[in-house]
Amino acid sequence: ETGVTQTPRHLVMGMTNKKSLKCEQHLGHNAMYWYKQSAKKPLELMFVYSLEERVENNSVPSRFSPECPNSSHLFLHLHTLQPEDSALYLCASSQDGGGGAPLFFGPGTRLTVL
Amino acid sequence: AQSVTQPDIHITVSEGASLELRCNYSYGATPYLFWYVQSPGQGLQLLLKYFSGDTLVQGIKGFEAEFKRSQSSFNLRKPSVHWSDAAEYFCAVGASNAGGTSYGKLTFGQGTILTVHP
C-alpha cells in the first residue's frame, strides 16, 4: 500500500450503531487529520494529531471520538450518530512543516446514517 | 482567522479551451496557498503550492497558479483543458501556527466544479 488508505470506503449505519473508521498512512508523516466533507459546504477540519497527541478539536460533538495509537494509524469511533452526520470523511497526513505543510489525503469513507 | 473564497461554483469549458479558476484569500501574513483536485469518489490530490519566491508556480497535469498579493488572489490556470480534467477544484490557505507547533492546518474554499464539453 502507498499513500493514505481508508477503510471502509462505504458505511451505512443506524443511529444506535457503533462503528469505527480506519486510516493508515504509509508516508512516514508525523501529523494526521480528520476532515468532514458535506455537500455544498467547505471541508471542515475535525481533529488534528501531531506526534500522536491531539492538538486540535474543532468543537466536534462527542459522538465522534478519535484515536491515534501511533503515527501511522488514525481511527474515528462513531456512536449514536445523527442523519446530518452523513458525509464523506477524509483522512489526511502531513510531515512536520508548520503552516506550509501540504496535506496528503486518503480516498475517504462515504458514511450514510439512517 | 484565514478564509478562502472561490467565487465560481460551477464552470463549463470546451476541451482544448483555456481555463482559469479564481481563488481569493484573507490572511494577515504571507500565506501558504494550495490547489487541490478531487475526482468523483476520490480524496483530494495536491496540484501545486505556493510558499514564497516566484509568484508563478507550476504544478502537475499542466496546471499553474499565480500569487497576486495586491489582489489577495491565487488563480489556477491551464492553457488547454483535457476531458480528464473534469473534477472539483479546491483552493486552500495554510495558517502559521502559534506556539511552535509543527502541524499544518488548511482552510479550504467551497470548491469549483469543472465540466469539460467534448
Q: How far apart are CA A24 and CA A7, in angstroms?
A: 9
* pLDDT for position B63: 98
Q: How far apart are CA B106 and CA B52, in angstroms?
A: 17
3-state secondary structure chain B: CCEEECCCCEEEEECCCCEEECCEEECCCCCEEEEEEECCCCCEEEEEEECCCCCEEECHHHCEEEEEHHHCEEEEEECCCCHHHCEEEEEEEECCCHHHCCCCCEEECCCEEEEEEC
Write phi, then psi, for B96 (nearest 5 degrees): -70, 145
pLDDT range class, residue B104, cuts 50, 70, 90: low
Chain B CA closest to residue A106: B43
B97 contacts A43? CB cut-off 8 A = no
Chain A CA closest to residue B44: A105
pLDDT digits (tens, 9 = 90+) for B9-56: 999 999 999 999 999 999 877 788 999 999 988 899 999 999 888 899
* pLDDT for position B2: 81
Contacts of A33 in chain B (CB under 8 A): 103
pLDDT range class, residue B114, cuts 50, 70, 90: very high
User: If interface means Cβ-Cβ distance under 8 Å, which residues of chain B face chain A?
Assistant: 4, 32, 34, 36, 41-46, 49, 51, 90, 94-97, 101-111
Whether the bond between A8 and the residue before it is cis, its omega within 30 degrees of 0, is yes
pLDDT range class, residue B98, cuts 50, 70, 90: low
Q: How far apart are CA A35 and CA A45, in angstroms?
A: 5
Q: How far apart are CA B23 and CA B7, in angstroms?
A: 7
Chain B CA closest to residue A39: B110
A·B CB contacts under 8 A? 81
* pLDDT for position A16: 87
Tens digit of pLDDT at every position of chain A (114 positions): 689 999 999 999 988 889 999 999 999 998 999 999 998 788 999 998 887 777 777 789 999 999 999 999 999 999 999 999 999 999 999 986 566 778 999 999 999 999
CA gyration radius, chain B: 14
